């Protein structure tokens, strides 16, 4: 087990990578993203400094499309980073992929863990889910904020972790012999994300795209993408556009781009 997360350790880790934020650490909370949105909507976020909300346990953690994020007490790294939405130059579909790339870069640099990306927002090792990223917006009297929620399985799950997810998930300590320092990992992810944000602002997704494609673990594989109120899209994953849209080559040889959907392999 790693060292306990405290607000003081979070602030210290951020300072080491040159970042500052209004930080909160909760032993138990419903959702770090819900807490960040609450602060933004109520006007307690002033808009000039990022927010960082972290928790040891979430009773109502969320994934994409309203899915539940399951994690046992103290076994994961769960946090939400919020800052002005205009900092990201409107590249909405690219943001969760940038978050996934930041996670894979941090795991590789700190612990030599080699992870891949499943479009549009998951981090995997050997096809097993390690982490998820949720990007959304919240509006308040001091502006619109982008919320990037990240959840990473760090340690083996407790008895409360659903059995059906054990077969499709993994955790970081299964892939390294080193002790994982959660505040250090979080700060390194946020430092990487900050650098990627600046790159997106300067170049859009043009320079980021090839690095994401190299980490996509589904290139060349046959997939099915399901959308609401539309027939499924079936074909081979070929890459992404600079805005983060997935390029799929259909059975008839034609290529289409997809901005959202649920991917099945």
pLDDT in tens, 250-264: 999 999 999 888 899
What pLDDT shows up at residue 93? Answer: 84
pLDDT band at 14 (very low <50, low <70, confident <90, very high): very high
Statement: residue 65 has pLDDT above 70: no
Quickly state the pLDDT bin for 51 (edges 50, 70, 90): very high
Dihedral sign (CA 254, 257, 260, 265): positive
Where in the chain do CATH 3.30.930.10 domains reside?
A: 7-212
pLDDT of residue 106: 98
Band of pLDDT at residue 26, cut at 50, 70 and 90: very high
Using one digit for the tens of pLDDT, what is the confidence trace for 138-148?
999 999 999 99
The pLDDT of residue 212: 96
Please tell me the predicted confidence (pLDDT) of residue 118: 97
Question: pLDDT-derived band of residue 191, with 50, 70 and 90 as boundaries?
Answer: very high
Give pLDDT tens digits for 226-238.
Answer: 987 788 999 999 9
Q: What is the pLDDT of residues 160-174, one digit of tens each?
A: 666 677 788 899 999
For the cut 90, the answer to whether the pLDDT of residue 81 exceeds it is yes
Q: What is the mean pLDDT of residues 193-204?
A: 91
- Percent of the chain topping pLDDT 70: 91
Report the pLDDT value the prediction gives residue 180, as an integer from 0 to 100: 95
For the domain made up of 219-264, give the CATH fold.
SH3 type barrels. (2.30.30)
How does residue 157 score in pLDDT terms, banded at 50, 70 and 90?
confident
Q: What is the pLDDT of residues 236-248, one digit of tens each?
A: 999 999 999 999 9
The mean pLDDT value of the chain amounts to: 90
For the chain, give every residue range classified as CATH 2.30.30.100. 219-264
pLDDT value for 186: 98
The CATH architecture annotation of domain 7-212 reads 2-Layer Sandwich (3.30)
Burial label for 160, CB within 10 Å (0-12, 13-18, 19+), is exposed
**C-alpha to C-alpha distance for 198 and 161, rounded to whole angstroms:** 37
Q: How confident is the model at residue 28 (pLDDT cuts 50, 70, 90)?
A: very high
Six-digit token string for 69: 């994020």
User: If you write DSSP's letter for every residue of the chain in order, what string do you get?
Assistant: --PPP-HHHHHHHHHHTT---EEEEEEEES-HHHHHHHHHHTT-S-SSS-EEEEEEEESS-B-GGG-B----TTSEEEEEEEEEGGGGTT-GGGHHHHHHHHHHHHHHHHH----EEETTTEEEETTEEEEEEEEEEEEETTEEEEEEEEEEE-S---TTS-HHHHTTB--GGGG-SSPP-HHHHHHHHHHHHHHHHHHHHHHTTTTTHHHHHHHBTTTT-EEEEEETTEEEEEEEEEEE-TTSPEEEEETTS-EEEESS-EEE-
Q: Is the pLDDT of residue 201 over 60?
A: yes
pLDDT at 204: 84
């Amino acid at each position: 087990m790693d060292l306990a997360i405290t607000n003081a350790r979070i602030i210290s880790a951020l300072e080491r990578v040159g970042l500052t934020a209004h930080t909160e650490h909760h032993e138990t909370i419903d959702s770090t993203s819900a807490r960040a949105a609450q602060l933004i909507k109520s006007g307690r976020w002033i808009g000039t400094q990022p927010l960082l909300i972290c928790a040891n346990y979430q009773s109502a953690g969320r994934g994409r499309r309203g899915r539940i994020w399951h994690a046992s007490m103290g076994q994961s790294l769960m946090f939400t980073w919020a800052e002005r939405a205009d900092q990201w130059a409107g590249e909405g579909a690219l943001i969760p992929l940038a978050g996934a790339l930041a996670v894979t870069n941090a795991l590789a640099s700190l612990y030599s863990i080699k992870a891949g990306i499943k479009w549009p927002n998951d981090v995997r090792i050997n096809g097993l889910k390690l982490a998820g990223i949720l990007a959304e917006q919240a509006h308040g009297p001091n502006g619109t904020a982008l919320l990037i929620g990240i959840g990473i399985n760090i340690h083996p799950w407790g008895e409360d972790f659903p059995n059906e997810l054990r077969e499709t998930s993994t955790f970081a300590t299964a892939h390294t012999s080193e002790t994982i320092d959660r505040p250090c990992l979080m700060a390194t992810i946020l430092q990487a994300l900050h650098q990627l944000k600046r790159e997106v602002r300067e170049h859009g997704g043009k320079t980021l795209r090839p690095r994401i494609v190299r980490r996509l673990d589904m290139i060349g594989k046959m997939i099915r993408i399901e959308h609401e109120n539309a027939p499924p899209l079936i074909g081979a994953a070929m890459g992404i556009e600079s805005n983060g849209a997935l390029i799929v080559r259909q059975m008839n040889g034609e290529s289409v781009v997809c901005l959202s959907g649920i991917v099945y392999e």
